[in-house]
C-alpha cells in the first residue's frame, strides 16, 4: 500500500546489537511480516548513538527515525540505555525548540524476545510516516514572521572605582609575592594578561567586563605562562565549577579573584541570581554600587519563542542559521568547548558538513547545543560573539530548562553534584519511549 | 542625473528588483545589527544610522559556500553538472568605499596564475553603487591604507548624502551610467578618520620580525575563531570540500580562515604554524607584506570590521597600533 503519489517512507532504525536487533531477527525467523521501509543500522548499544547520527539520517533522506534498545535493567553493558534515555530526554527538547516535527522521531525498548513488538512498531511508524508525507529538510514556513526575543532589562553603568582599585591591589600583590605568574583580567579593549605587578594598573572593572575569561584556561599559550589568577564574576565562576567537575582544571592550580557584580546590562544579567561569587579564593565586595535587582524569569525569551507554532519556530531558526558563516566564534569563546579537536573539525569522515549551508548549519548548531546540555552555564558568550547575531542563547536556554525541570539540575551551581550527562537515574521519566 | 532623492533611489531599486536583478544593501537584521543582505524590497534598504554593516560585499563575488561543479549517478551513468556560464546581474547599493575598493584588490589574486571563472563570472555581473561615508567610528582607518570616506576605487557610481534627503550622484563606469545615468557631481564635506599608523612601517616590521615575541605576546587573547576573516572585505582564503553521497554531490569551496589551527594542519598531523601568535602574524604579514610584495596592494581597506566583530578586542588596528615605530608620519 502506497501513500499519495506512491510515496513510500524511508525509516532508519538505530538499534542495539543485543536486544532490538535480535528482536528484529526473531520477527524474521518467526515469519512475522512488517513493511520493508525500515533500514536497520545495528550499533553496540543505544548508549553509543550520537545525536548527530539522527541528524545525519534526516540529512540523507530519512522520513522518520527510530532508536531502540534493551528494556531498562536489561542492558548488556549494564547502563547504556539509561544514559541514552537521559540524552534523548534533553535532545527532544532541543529539537522541539527548533520546531522539528517530533512525530518523525521514535524511541522504543524492544527485547530479543519481542519479535511481535518489533513488527508492530515498524508497521505503526511506517503507516504514520506515510500519512505525514515526505520529510522536507528545514523547509522555511511561508509567511512566518521573525521572532523577536523578549525585551531584556538590566542594570546600567555602575560605580566601581573602589572595587577596581582593590582588584589592582590584589593583582599586584599576587604577582609580586610570586603566588601566580599571570593575572587574567579585563583591560580597555578586552581580556588582558598581566604578568608584572606594575602592569596591574591596566586592569579594569566596569560595565564592559562581560567576557567570560575562564575560556582562556583551555588555551595552551595562556597555560604556558604559569599559574594564573583569574578574574571571575558569579556567573563566570559557574564555568569553573563545571570545568573542575570534568577534570579540566585543578582549582588548587588557579587563584580565583571573585568580583561581586550588580549586573552589566547584558540580557543574561536581568535574570542573574549569582551576583556574588561563592567559591572564589578571594572576593572583592561590591560595596559601592546599588543592590542588584531581583532576578527576572530566566526563560522569558524562550517562552516567547515556544508560544509560536513549530512551523514558525523552524522558520525562525532557518532565518537565524542562514546567516551563520561557520566562523566558530560561538565555539571558540565557550569555556565548555575545550575539545582539542572538535567533532566539526573531524573530516575523516566528515562528521558534520563544514559548509555553511542550511544543512551544515543546522547540523552544527544542534550538535553544539546538545554537547552543552547540562554543561552550559548561561554566560551567553556564544551569542555575544556571533558576528551574524544568531540568538544561540535560546538553544542553550531550552536545554537549561530541560535540565532544571526534569532533573533539578543547573550547571555549575553545585561542585558536589554528578555531571548531568555523565550520570543517570532509574527514575528518569520515559513517557516518550514506546 | 546629478541629484537623486531618497524616494527616487528607492524607486529605482524597486525597479531593479522587479526586473530580476539581485540587489544587496544594508538591512537592519536585529535592533543592533546591520548586515549587507539581499533586498527583498526597496524599503528594506537602510541608508543611514550605521557606520558600516558587520559583514562585507565580498560575498557577492566570493560566496561563503559555492558549488564549483556537481555530479549525479544514475544506474551506470555518471553526469557532471557544471555551473552556469554567466552569473545573474547583481547590484550592491550602499556599500562604503572600504567595501568597493575590495573588489579591484581581489581581482588581482583571482586572475594571477589562474583565471578563476567562478569569481570572474560574478565579478562581471556585479555593479557597485557606493555611498560615501557620512559617519565613522574609532575602528575606521581607511586613510591609513590609502583610501578615504569618498574614495572612488572599485565603485561604479558613488552617492554623496547631502543631508537633506537627497544624494549627489557621480557615475564612474559604464555599468554605473547604465543604472544611474550621467551623474558628475563631486563630494561634500568628508570627515576622514585620522591617520592611525604608517603601513610601510608595519610591512617592514612584519618582514624583519618574523620570530619576534611581539606576535605571541599580543595574540594571547585571540581565541582562534574566524570572525575577523569572515567579515573582512578582502580576506579570501578558501577550502575545497566534496559533499555528497552515492547518488549526487558537489565539489564546493567554502571560506577558510588563517586563525583556525586546522587551516595549516598537515595530513601527517604536523602543524607548521602551531601557535596563535604565528596565526595572528600571518594575518598581518599577508595583508601588509606578502600581498603588497606580490600585487602592489595592501590587502586591507581599513574598514575596521575585524575589530568590531572580534569578541575579545583584537583586529588589525588594535594589533598594528602596538607595532613599534608604526605611528603615522
Number of domains chain A contains: 2
Degrees, nearest 5: CA angle A170-A174-A177: 135
Residue A157 has pLDDT above 50, yes or no: no
Number of Cβ pairs < 8 A linking chain A and chain B: 110
Q: What is the mean pLDDT of residues A297-326?
A: 95
Q: In what order do the strands lie in the sheet with A64-69?
A: A38-43, A11-16, A64-69, A105-109
Interval A257-277: pLDDT, tens: 999 988 888 888 888 888 889
Residue A141 has pLDDT above 90, yes or no: no
Residue A154 has pLDDT above 50, yes or no: no
Domain match, A201 and A97 both: no
Does B56 touch chain A if contact means CB atoms closer than 8 Å? no
A63 found inside a domain: yes
Domain boundary among the residues A253, A269, A284 is at A284
- Of A48 and B259, the structure prediction assigns the larger pLDDT to B259
A349 found inside a domain: no
Rounded to two decimals, the pTM is 0.92
Radius of gyration of chain A (CA): 24
Kindly state the helix (H) or strand (E) to which residue B252 belongs, with its residue range: strand B248-255
Per this entry, what is the length of chain B? 329
Chain A residue with the nearest C-alpha to that of B216: A221
The answer for A 378-397 residues in CB contact with B (under 8 A) is 381, 384-385, 387-389
CA separation, residue A391 to residues A128, A150, A304, A342 (Å): 34, 12, 13, 22
A149 found inside a domain: no
User: How confident is the prediction for chain A on average, in pLDDT?
Assistant: 90
* Among the partner residues B30, B220, B227, nearest to A329 by beta-carbon distance: B227
Q: Which domain holds residue B267?
A: 3-320
Residue B310 has pLDDT above 90, yes or no: yes
A219 found inside a domain: yes
Q: Judge if ipTM > 0.85.
A: yes
Interval B166-191: pLDDT, tens: 999 999 999 999 999 888 877 776 78
How much is the pLDDT for A143? Answer: 30
Degrees, nearest 5: CA angle A315-A321-A323: 115
CA distance B230 to A356: 12
Residue A185 has pLDDT above 90, yes or no: yes
CA distance B6 to A262: 45
Residue A59 has pLDDT above 90, yes or no: no
CB contact under 8 A, A189 and B318: yes
Domain boundary among the residues A255, A284, A313 is at A284
User: How confident is the prediction for chain B on average, in pLDDT?
Assistant: 94
**Which one, of B309, B326, B139, lies nearest residue B229 by Cα?**
B309
Residue A4 has pLDDT above 70, yes or no: no
CA distance A408 to B210: 53
The answer for A 54-93 residues in CB contact with B (under 8 A) is 60
Radius of gyration of chain B (CA): 21
Does A130 touch chain B if contact means CB atoms closer than 8 Å? no
* Among the partner residues B33, B55, B254, nearest to A354 by beta-carbon distance: B254
Confidence of residue A294 (pLDDT cuts 50, 70, 90): confident
Please tell me the number of Cα atoms within 13 Å of B300 on its side-chain side.
Answer: 30
Domain match, A273 and A184 both: yes
Confidence of residue B155 (pLDDT cuts 50, 70, 90): very high
Least confident interval from A300-314, B71-85, B309-323 = B71-85
How much is the pLDDT for B163? Answer: 87
Residue A145 has pLDDT above 50, yes or no: no
Least confident interval from A279-293, A400-414, B42-56, B258-272 = A279-293
* Among the partner residues A60, A345, A355, nearest to B245 by beta-carbon distance: A60
Least confident interval from A29-43, A125-139, A325-339, B111-125 = A125-139
Inter-residue long-range contacts of A242-247, CB under 8 Å, 24+ positions, other chains counted = A242/A335, A242/A336, A242/A375, A242/A377, A242/A411, A242/A412, A242/A419, A243/A214, A243/A217, A243/A335, A243/A336, A243/A338, A244/A415, A245/A415, A245/A417, A245/A419, A246/A375, A246/A419
Residue A105 to chain B, least CA–CA distance (Å):
23
Residue A29 to chain B, least CA–CA distance (Å):
32
Domain match, A115 and A165 both: no
CB contact under 8 A, B314 and A326: no
Confidence of residue A161 (pLDDT cuts 50, 70, 90): confident
Residue A75 to chain B, least CA–CA distance (Å):
34
Interval A103-129: pLDDT, tens: 999 999 999 999 999 999 999 999 999
Confidence of residue A163 (pLDDT cuts 50, 70, 90): confident
Number of domains chain B contains: 1
Residues in B closer than 8 angstroms to A342, CB to CB, are none
Q: What is the mean pLDDT of residues B30-59?
A: 95
**Which one, of A118, A105, A16, lies nearest residue A69 by Cα?**
A16
Say which residue the cell 603601513 belongs to. B199
Residue B25 to chain A, least CA–CA distance (Å):
15
Q: Which domain holds residue A103?
A: 4-132
Does A329 touch chain B if contact means CB atoms closer than 8 Å? yes
B329 found inside a domain: no
B281 found inside a domain: yes
CB contact under 8 A, A191 and B312: yes
A240 found inside a domain: yes
How much is the pLDDT for B1? Answer: 64
Residues in B closer than 8 angstroms to A222, CB to CB, are 220
Least confident interval from A109-118, A129-138, A321-330 = A129-138
A362 found inside a domain: no
Domain match, A108 and A205 both: no
Does B257 touch chain A if contact means CB atoms closer than 8 Å? yes
How much is the pLDDT for A2? Answer: 53
Domain match, A121 and A39 both: yes
Kindly state the helix (H) or strand (E) to which residue A86 belongs, with its residue range: helix A80-97
How much is the pLDDT for B189? Answer: 67
* Among the partner residues B216, B219, B231, nearest to A387 by beta-carbon distance: B231
Degrees, nearest 5: CA angle A20-A24-A28: 165
How much is the pLDDT for A136? Answer: 84
Interval A339-359: pLDDT, tens: 989 999 988 888 899 999 999
How much is the pLDDT for A264? Answer: 86
Work out the burial of residue B209: count CB atoms within 10 Å of its CB; fewer than 13 is exposed, 13-18 middle, 19 or more buried. middle
How much is the pLDDT for A94? Answer: 96
Does B254 touch chain A if contact means CB atoms closer than 8 Å? yes
CB contact under 8 A, A356 and B254: yes
Residue A116 to chain B, least CA–CA distance (Å):
34
Domain match, A15 and A90 both: yes
B229 found inside a domain: yes
A428 found inside a domain: no
CA distance A220 to B96: 39
Residue A44 has pLDDT above 60, yes or no: yes
A358 backbone dihedrals φ, ψ, rounded to 5°: -60, -45
The CATH number assigned to the domain holding A26 equals 3.40.50
Residue A146 has pLDDT above 80, yes or no: no
Domain match, A175 and A85 both: no
A192-201 burial, b at 16+ Cβ within 10 Å, e below that, comes to: bbbeebebbe
Evaluate whether B130 touches B157 at the Cβ level (below 8 Å).
Answer: yes
Beta-carbon contacts of residue B8 (< 8 Å; ≥ 6 apart): none
Q: What is the mean pLDDT of residues A121-145?
A: 76
Beta-carbon contacts of residue A347 (< 8 Å; ≥ 6 apart): A354
Domain boundary among the residues A112, A132, A152 is at A132
Q: Is B193 helix (H, G, I), strand (E, B) or coil?
A: coil
Amino acid at each position: 500500500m502506497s501513500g499519495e503519489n506512491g510515496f513510500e517512507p524511508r525509516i532508519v532504525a538505530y538499534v542495539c546489537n543485543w536486544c532490538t536487533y535480535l528482536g528484529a531477527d526473531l520477527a524474521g525467523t518467526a515469519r512475522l511480516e512488517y513493511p520493508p521501509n525500515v533500514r536497520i543500522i545495528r550499533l553496540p548499544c543505544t548508549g553509543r548513538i550520537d545525536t548527530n547520527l539522527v541528524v545525519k539520517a534526516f540529512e540523507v533522506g530519512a522520513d522518520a527515525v527510530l532508536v531502540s534498545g534493551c528494556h531498562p535493567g536489561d542492558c548488556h553493558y549494564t547502563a547504556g540505555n539509561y544514559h541514552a534515555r537521559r540524552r534523548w530526554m534533553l535532545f527532544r527538547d532541543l529539537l522541539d525548540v527548533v520546531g522539528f516535527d517530533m512525530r518523525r522521531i521514535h524511541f522504543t525498548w524492544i527485547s530479543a524476545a519481542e519479535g511481535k513488538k518489533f513488527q508492530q512498531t515498524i508497521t505503526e511508524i511506517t503507516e504514520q510516516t506515510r500519512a505525514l508525507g515526505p520529510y522536507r529538510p528545514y523547509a522555511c514556513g511561508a509567511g512566518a514572521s521573525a521572532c523577536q526575543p523578549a525585551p531584556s532589562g538590566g542594570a546600567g553603568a555602575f560605580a566601581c572605582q573602589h572595587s577596581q582599585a582593590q582588584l589592582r591591589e590584589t593583582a599586584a600583590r599576587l604577582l609580586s609575592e610570586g603566588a601566580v605568574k599571570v593575572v587574567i583580567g579585563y583591560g580597555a579593549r578586552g581580556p588582558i594578561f598581566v604578568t608584572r605587578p606594575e602592569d596591574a594598573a591596566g586592569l579594569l572593572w566596569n560595565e564592559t567586563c562581560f567576557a567570560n575569561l575562564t575560556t582562556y584556561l583551555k588555551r595552551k599559550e595562556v597555560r604556558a605562562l604559569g599559574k594564573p589568577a583569574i578574574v571571575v564574576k558569579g556567573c563566570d565562576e559557574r564555568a569553573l565549577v563545571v570545568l573542575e567537575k570534568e577534570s579540566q582544571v585543578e582549582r588548587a592550580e588557579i587563584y580565583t579573584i571573585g568580583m561581586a557584580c550588580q549586573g552589566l546590562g547584558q540580557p543574561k544579567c536581568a535574570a542573574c541570581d549569582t551576583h556574588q561569587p561563592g567559591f572564589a579564593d578571594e572576593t572583592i565586595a561590591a560595596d559601592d554600587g546599588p543592590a542588584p535587582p531581583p532576578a527576572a524569569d530566566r526563560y522569558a525569551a524562550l517562552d516567547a519563542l515556544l508560544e509560536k507554532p513549530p512551523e514558525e519556530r523552524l522558520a525562525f531558526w532557518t532565518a537565524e542559521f542562514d546567516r551563520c558563516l561557520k566562523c566558530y566564534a560561538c565555539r571558540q569563546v565557550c569555556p565548555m568547548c575545550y575539545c582539542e579537536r572538535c567533532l566539526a573539525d573531524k573530516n575523516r569522515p566528515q562528521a558534520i558538513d563544514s559548509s555553511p549551508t542550511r544543512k551544515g548549519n543546522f547540523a552544527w548548531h544542534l550538535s553544539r547545543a546538545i554537547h552543552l546540555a547540562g554543561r552550559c552555564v548561561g554566560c551567553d558568550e556564544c551569542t555575544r560573539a556571533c558576528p551574524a547575531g544568531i540568538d544561540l542563547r535560546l538553544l542553550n536556554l531550552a536545554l537549561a530548562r530541560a535540565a532544571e525541570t526534569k532533573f533539578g539540575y543547573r550547571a555549575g551551581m553545585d561542585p558536589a553534584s554528578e555531571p548531568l550527562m555523565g550520570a543517570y537515574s532509574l527514575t528518569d521519566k520515559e513517557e516518550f519511549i514506546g | 542625473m546629478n541629484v537623486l532623492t531618497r524616494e527616487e533611489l528607492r524607486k529605482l531599486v524597486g525597479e531593479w528588483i522587479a526586473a530580476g536583478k539581485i540587489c544587496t544593501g544594508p538591512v537592519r537584521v536585529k535592533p543592533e545589527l546591520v548586515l549587507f543582505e539581499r533586498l527583498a524590497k526597496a524599503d528594506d534598504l537602510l541608508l543611514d544610522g550605521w557606520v558600516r554593516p558587520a559583514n562585507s560585499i565580498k560575498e557577492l563575488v566570493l560566496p561563503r559556500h559555492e558549488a564549483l561543479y556537481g555530479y549525479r549517478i544514475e544506474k551506470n551513468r555518471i553526469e557532471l553538472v557544471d555551473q552556469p556560464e554567466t552569473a545573474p546581474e547583481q547590484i550592491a547599493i550602499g556599500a562604503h568605499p572600504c567595501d568597493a575598493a575590495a573588489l579591484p584588490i581581489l581581482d588581482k589574486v583571482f586572475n594571477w596564475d589562474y583565471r578563476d571563472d567562478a569569481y570572474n563570472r560574478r565579478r562581471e555581473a556585479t555593479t557597485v553603487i557606493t555611498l560615501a561615508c557620512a559617519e565613522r567610528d574609532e575602528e575606521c582607518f581607511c586613510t591609513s591604507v590609502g583610501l578615504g570616506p569618498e574614495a572612488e576605487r572599485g565603485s561604479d557610481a558613488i552617492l554623496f548624502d547631502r543631508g537633506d534627503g537627497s544624494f549627489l550622484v557621480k557615475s564612474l563606469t559604464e555599468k554605473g551610467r547604465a543604472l544611474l545615468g550621467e551623474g558628475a557631481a563631486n563630494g561634500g564635506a568628508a570627515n576622514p578618520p585620522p591617520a592611525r599608523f604608517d603601513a610601510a612601517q608595519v610591512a617592514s616590521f612584519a618582514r624583519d620580525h618574523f620570530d619576534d615575541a611581539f606576535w605571541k605576546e599580543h595574540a594571547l587573547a585571540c581565541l582562534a575563531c574566524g570572525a575577523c576573516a569572515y567579515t573582512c572585505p578582502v580576506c579570501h582564503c578558501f577550502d575545497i570540500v566534496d559533499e555528497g553521497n552515492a547518488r549526487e554531490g558537489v565539489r564546493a569551496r567554502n571560506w577558510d580562515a588563517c586563525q583556525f589551527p586546522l587551516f595549516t594542519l598537515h595530513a601527517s598531523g604536523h602543524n607548521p604554524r602551531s601557535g596563535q601568535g604565528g596565526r595572528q602574524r600571518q594575518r598581518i604579514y599577508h595583508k601588509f607584506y606578502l600581498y603588497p610584495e606580490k600585487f602592489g596592494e595592501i590587502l586591507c581597506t581599513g574598514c575596521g570590521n575585524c575589530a568590531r566583530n572580534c569578541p575579545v578586542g583584537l583586529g588589525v588596528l588594535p594589533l598594528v597600533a602596538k607595532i613599534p615605530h608604526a605611528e603615522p608620519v
